[in-house]
Amino acid sequence: MANPAQYDLTYYQASIPVFIRALNNLSALLRKAVAFTAEQGIDESQWVNARLAPDMFSLARQVQSASDAAKSCAARLSGGEIPSFPDTETTFAQLQQRIDKTIAYLNSLPQDLFAHAGERPIVMNMRGTAKTFSGYDYLFRLALPNLFFHITTAYDILRNQGLAIGKSDYLGSFE
Amino acid sequence: MANPAQYDLTYYQASIPVFIRALNNLSALLRKAVAFTAEQGIDESQWVNARLAPDMFSLARQVQSASDAAKSCAARLSGGEIPSFPDTETTFAQLQQRIDKTIAYLNSLPQDLFAHAGERPIVMNMRGTAKTFSGYDYLFRLALPNLFFHITTAYDILRNQGLAIGKSDYLGSFE
């Protein structure tokens, strides 16, 4: 156990602003995809349904999963109900709306709700079995890796399709 | 600024164990790749050099970059020198050694060095210009997203090559 004097970070800081930044970067990637497919006359549904392996999730599903990782974690760490967003998006415009709704939800959560989130027991259904995580394990072993997984894989699908994006699009601006 | 009563997480907790877990999961992915390529008689250099787009990093470079993201962040947050590992790996065995060396370095750092890491000014060279980050911005906007980017892209390359792995290999065990 660390010396209490070292506690200088909150669960809010380690989650909500990180999620919002990652989702804004994802949104910017999708805007570039919209511009490129329009310019090249590529059917957008071809990209929305693109994947890296036949049994991997499509781009649309990666975006939905990134949204799910962020909103589920935000709700569980703050003790609220997870907002339900049906996975019905089939266009870039709809995927942007999904990201916007997710960010709006994240922005609506006051920091105070995240106090002591690390000790909050979080019960997850893992392959049919209920498993209890600490808030710490849930955030750092499940939610953050998951969020970055789906955003990176969305990026990788777009790169694989030929979109001219780079690491700085994924990381976002540092101005 | 959050209420100090909410500070219940350390910079050590938000970095080192997270990096070690992610690198151990990457190591397990590579072991599966070794077994599969051997079994199928695939030349391992084909996979080590595989990439998702002609101008993206190869699998080897993704592993090296994951190592770099972890060791650079660990050194900068703890105020130490970044250990230099030359990017010379060309086989799965060498990439495993690179991961092992990185984990050994991470394990060598005492938690105390990370106290107040959030306020440590971190000077980075961003496209030729020196830029100063807070420890917070550096960890959450650069290092963590970068680490997960390279590990996820390694996973995506392996999936794209046909390796039978799933999300649980990326996330690791919860037993």
pLDDT at B1 over 80: no
Which tokens hold the place of B94? 């060498």
Q: Any idea what DSSP says for residue B138?
A: I
Distance CA B174, CA A6 (A): 27
* Strand-pair category, B122-126 with B129-133: antiparallel
Q: Tens digit of pLDDT for each residue in A61-86?
A: 999 999 999 999 999 999 999 999 99
A14 vs B: CB within 8 A: yes
Q: Tens digit of pLDDT for each residue in A108-159?
A: 999 999 998 988 899 988 888 999 999 999 999 999 999 999 999 999 999 9
Q: Which stretch of A98-107, A117-126, A147-156, B36-45 has the lowest confidence by average pLDDT?
A: A117-126
Residue range B103-111: average pLDDT?
Answer: 98
Residue range A91-111: average pLDDT?
Answer: 98
> How much is the pLDDT for A126?
82
Q: Do B141 and A115 touch (CB under 8 A)?
A: no
* Residue B114 CB partners (closer than 8 Å, separation 6+): A6, B10, B11, B12, B15, B16, B77, B78
Q: Do B156 and A159 touch (CB under 8 A)?
A: no
Torsion of CA A73, A79, A80, A81, to 10 degrees: 70
Give A20's contacts in chain B (Cβ within 8 Å): none
Q: Do A2 and B10 touch (CB under 8 A)?
A: yes
Residue range A93-119: average pLDDT?
Answer: 96
Which tokens hold the place of B113? 């060095």
pLDDT at B2 over 50: no
Give the global pTM: 0.96
B130 vs A: CB within 8 A: no
A59 vs B: CB within 8 A: no
Distance CA A141, CA A118 (A): 12
Distances from the Cα of B94 to the Cα of A75, B33, B74, B152, angstroms: 42, 14, 22, 20
> How much is the pLDDT for A109?
98
pLDDT at B79 over 90: yes
Residue of chain B minimizing CA distance to A151: B149
Average pLDDT over chain B reads: 95
* Residue B123: Cβ within 10 Å count: 11
* Strand-pair category, B129-133 with A122-126: unpaired
Average pLDDT over chain A reads: 95
Interface test mutation site (partner B, options A111, A114, A156, A157, max chain B beta carbons within 10 A): A156
Residue range B83-112: average pLDDT?
Answer: 98
Residues in chain B: 175
Structural domains in chain B, sorted by start: 11-165 (1.20.120.450)
pLDDT band for A5, please (50, 70, 90 cuts): low
Angle CA A70–A74–A78, to nearest 5: 175
B132 vs A: CB within 8 A: no
pLDDT at B104 over 90: yes
ipTM of the complex: 0.96
B96 vs A: CB within 8 A: no
Calculate what percentage of chain B has a pLDDT beyond 70: 97
